[in-house]
Structure formats: structure tokens, C-alpha cells
Amino acid sequence: MLNCKVYPLHLIHYNDFHARFEETSDDSLLCDHNKEKCYGGLPRLLYKIEAIRRLHPDSVLLDAGDSFQGTYWYTLLKWNATQYFLNLLNNDAHAIGNHEFDDDIDGLAPYLANLKAPALAANLDASEEPRLKGLFKSYTIIERKGKKIGIVGVTTTATKGLAPTGNVKFTDPREAALRESKNLRDMGVDVIILLSHCGYTLDVEIAQDYGQYIDLVVGGHSHRDKTVMFPYLTVVKSKSDNNHQVLVLQTDAFTKFLGNITINFNCIGDILNWYGEPIALDNSIPEDENLKNKLASYAEQVHTAAAKVIGHIDKTMDHRDCVHGECLMGNFLADMMRYTAQLKIKTPYPIIALIQRSNMRAIIRKGELTEGSIVELFPYLDLLTSFELQGKYLYEALERSASDLIKGERFTGPWLLQVSGLQVTYNISRPMGNRVASAYVKKKFSTVPLDKDKIYQIVAPIYLTDGGDGYTMISDNHKNPEILGYDQHRLREYIKAYKSINVKIEGRILIS
């Protein structure tokens, strides 16, 4: 023991790349240096990775999944450009994110086949999906400074309801993490990392309840940002071994930050201490010129295709308005969803569209609506659903919408629903759970009070249907769900149908 040395592990990681090949800004997928603060992009990411590697040549680089979808780069170039450029980073392992399934197994298989580093998913069973045979593993083992480092991958089981997953079966990631980490420990592996695309909450649960053999959890999926806040690093004590601590790590999505940490292990393999923090990839960080030149040959093609005009909008729509009450973007998107349901659903019930504030992320300027605008408004190619819901549960959803509304210079509510086919008045002087002062349902030429006993035909993004943002009254009580297709496709149809779109505030949401 006297000759035993502390072992430092230098870890670099990123997650939820979402096709950020070029730098972007908070409000646009196109970065204007004269107007906005730009960040991220693959050339800036690579520049900083290589700078760290020069200091620590033995660094481990991990990708926690969701590299597909999010900009027009992916819409046009799909898996091929993604694998080509991510391979230039020289990753040590990749998690498989839910969005990697967005273009079915035929879009995932060639991506996995062409990655240089192994793709890991211990809780995926592809025994009945031959197209994925041999294309991913449960774990991989690498060596640094004579130490064996085992990396186990897991992904979210929600993928099955979010994307076309073929005949792939999703098993419990907690049990898979425990099984494979114990297997690695029995093989004499020195350090065990769980590379997870399950989200922060489940990562912490795994570390606490199933983490007795795991040292680090490197995560993705939760999209840490200004509205989804959790620490970069969380220290978790294993329930089965209170002396064993697990570090749970996750940095921001979209290449805004690069995870960078050094963990020192003592002689018996326990974590002694650590240092480091995420590195902000703002425009003070240079870009890798060689990679930027490689991207340039694709950029003109992407930009030309994204600039194709498909319609016009008469006002600027800003997602930031949607946290304060009725907003132009909310009305536009909710009207599109209601229009889609009217075309595709035969129902005797009034149709109401709901869309959560967290689904709105862009600023769309007055004027031309382009193919790129569609991706800015709906970057992730998510499903739209329609279902029947009793009025009393719709009331509960509206109460959730107003549950954290506060009055400052402007009303602010993180869970506020934007609506179509509905007019709702909130009184936030009342206690939470009793803030809906009135709710009226739109009929052809009039409105009628929302009836708690009647059934309504709701259309919503699948995230909301599945109870996201705390809307469990919807997930627990909706009936007869139907899939209406992908949001991008339905939005494109709506814009092409109307060509010139006029948006306005109509008094759909009143707050006092």
C-alpha cells in the first residue's frame, strides 16, 4: 500500500448534440455575429477537446447520445454526415439516444455500423431485429495508464413511444446497469462508468439504488438549460454501500458546454476527490479551422435547402412571450394542431389543442416562412397525438397550467399551456388548484362553458400526452389515443395550405 499511487481519470463528455454542426444562438439556429451571442458548433467543440487532450493525452471522451435531429443539417443529411463528423472527434464510446431511432431502424443501422467508437446500450434487446445485429454492445473496456475502465450504456425506455423502433425491446435500464456493472467488477475492471441517455432523475436513482459497482454516471437526455436546472455534478451515496459514492454528471445540450472533470481514485479504487467544471463554448473559444473547412462544403447545400420559402407570417413570433400568457407562437402552433385534428379525426366531441410552453423555443421573424423555420419551430420531429379526455381532467390540466404562475412585472408561468378551441381565465390571487376562474369551449359561432362531465377531443404533442411537465392527469386518464403524424410534417402541410398566415392575440388566455 505504501507504493500505491493515486490514479487520476481525465474525463471529457458532451450530450444531446442534436445536429449542432454550426454555431448557433439561444434564439436561432443561424448565428448572426452582429446581433447575437454565438456558441457551440462542432469546430468549437473539437478545438476545446483537442486543447484538453494536449494537457491530458490520456483523456476519455464520451458522447451521451441524441446526436440526431434538431437542425436542418440533420433533416437534409441524416445519419451519414452525423457519423462522419462525430468520428473526427475520436470518441471512446457513444450512448444511443431516443432520437437516433427517429428515421426507423434503417436510419439507425448505418449510423451505428460506421461509428468508429462502440455504441453502447445494455438495456436494448435486438434479438428480433436482424438489421441491428452486431452493431451495438452492452459495454466496452478501455485502458488508461494501465487501468481498465469499463463503460456500460443504457437508454430511455420512453423511446418505444417516441420513435419507430422496429422489433427492438427496451428492458429496465436500472437492472441492466446493475447486471453489467457487477459483471465488469467481477472481471477486475478498475473504474466503471455508466453512459446513460435516461435523464438526470433516473441517473440519480440508478446511482443510489443500483450503483454499488458504478463509479461515474455520464448522462444526457434532460437538456439542462435556463429552464431545466440541475447541477453539473451530483454526489450520490449508494444505498447498499454507504461508503461508496457515485458522481452523476450531465452538461448542457447543443454543444453550449463541454464537460471536463478529473477524478482521483485512491489505492483501493474509491473516489478520493475531483476538480473541473463544464467549459462554456462561447465565441471566446476559437473554432477548429480544418473541421470548419470540411463543414463548408456541406453548408451551402444545407443553407440553400433550408431557405426554401413555403409561406409568410405577418408578425414576429417570440417563444419568450409564451411564459407570460397567450402568445402569437402558441396560437399559431395550437391552431395548426387543431386544424390537423379536424382533417384527420372523425369525432362527435369538440376539438381542443394544447401545447406546453416548453415546446416553444424559437424566434420567427415577420416575413418568409421557410423549410428552416419548420425545424426551428419543431426541431425534434416529435409525434402529435389526439385522444378523448373528460372535462374534469381538462380542468385539472388547466389548474396545472396556472399552478406556478406568479405576478411580477409580467405574469410568469413555467407550465403555461397555449390553447386553441378554448378560452380560459385565471385568477392567481386564488390558491393553487383553484385558479381557473372560467373556461369556455369554442363552437362554430359561439362558446359554451367547459363541462366537467363531458368528453373532449384533445390534440397535443406526445410529450404532453405522456404526462410531461407534470401533466399526469392527461397521461393517466386519456382514452382512445390516435397518432396524427410528426409535428414537422403537419406544420409544413398547414403552412402550405394557408400560404400567408395572420397571427393575433385573441383573448384565449386571460390572467388577473
- Cβ-contact 504, 328 below 8 angstroms: yes
Let me know if residue 2 belongs to a domain.
no
Residues 371, 263, single domain; the answer is no
CATH number at residue 197: 3.60.21.10
Count of structural domains, the chain: 2
- Nine cell digits for residue 351: 376539438
Let me know if residue 247 belongs to a domain.
yes
Residues 316, 254, single domain; the answer is no
Let me know if residue 31 belongs to a domain.
no
Residues 261, 408, single domain; the answer is no
Helix (H, G, I), strand (E, B) or coil at 378: coil
Residues 295, 325, single domain; the answer is no
Let me know if residue 46 belongs to a domain.
yes
Residues 293, 335, single domain; the answer is no
The range of the structural domain enclosing residue 220 comes to: 9-26+36-302
With b for 16 or more beta-carbon neighbours within 10 A and e for fewer, the 246-271 pattern comes to: bbbbbbbbbbbbbbbbebebeeeeeb
Residues 231, 367, single domain; the answer is no
* Final residue of a structural domain among 302, 329, 357: 302
Let me know if residue 405 belongs to a domain.
yes
* Final residue of a structural domain among 260, 286, 302: 302
CATH number at residue 408: 3.90.780.10
| pLDDT score at 226 | 55
Pairing of strands 233-237, 245-249: antiparallel
Residues 376, 420, single domain; the answer is yes
Who contacts 74 (Cβ-Cβ below 8 Å, separation ≥6)? 18, 19, 68, 81, 82
Beta strands in 431-478 (DSSP E): 436-442, 447-449, 455-461
Residues 229, 344, single domain; the answer is no
The separation between the first and the last C-alpha atoms of the chain, rounded to the nearest angstrom, is 69
Q: Is the torsion defined by CA of 309, 313, 314, 317 positive or negative?
A: negative
Phi/psi zone of residue 433: left (φ > 0), alpha (ψ -120 to 50 degrees), beta? Answer: left
| pLDDT score at 299 | 94
**Integer CA distances (angstroms), 293 to 43, 46, 119, 300, 493, in order:** 9, 13, 27, 12, 36
pLDDT tens digits for the chain (512 residues)? 456 789 999 999 999 999 999 998 876 777 766 556 889 999 999 999 999 999 999 999 999 999 999 999 999 999 999 999 999 999 999 999 999 999 999 999 999 999 999 999 999 999 999 999 999 999 999 999 999 999 999 999 999 888 899 999 999 999 999 999 999 999 999 999 999 999 999 999 999 999 999 999 999 998 875 555 678 999 999 998 888 999 999 999 999 999 999 999 998 889 999 999 999 999 999 999 999 999 998 999 999 999 999 999 999 999 989 988 999 999 999 999 999 999 999 999 999 999 998 888 889 999 999 999 999 999 988 899 999 999 999 999 999 999 887 776 667 777 899 999 999 999 989 999 999 999 999 988 889 999 999 999 999 999 999 998 899 999 999 999 999 999 999 999 999 999 999 999 999 999 98
Residues 312, 298, single domain; the answer is no
Residues 404, 426, single domain; the answer is yes
Model-level pTM?
Answer: 0.88
Q: The cell 397567450 sits on which residue? A: 326
**CA-CA distance, 303 to 25, in Å (whole number)?**
16
| pLDDT score at 3 | 64
**CA-CA distance, 93 to 138, in Å (whole number)?**
11
Let me know if residue 392 belongs to a domain.
yes
| pLDDT score at 409 | 62
Residues 233, 328, single domain; the answer is no
Q: Is the torsion defined by CA of 235, 211, 170, 184 positive or negative?
A: positive
Let me know if residue 65 belongs to a domain.
yes
Residues 201, 325, single domain; the answer is no
* Final residue of a structural domain among 277, 302, 327: 302
Let me know if residue 270 belongs to a domain.
yes
Please classify residue 499 by burial: count the beta carbons closer than 10 Å to its beta carbon, then call 0-12 exposed, 13-18 middle and 19+ buried: exposed
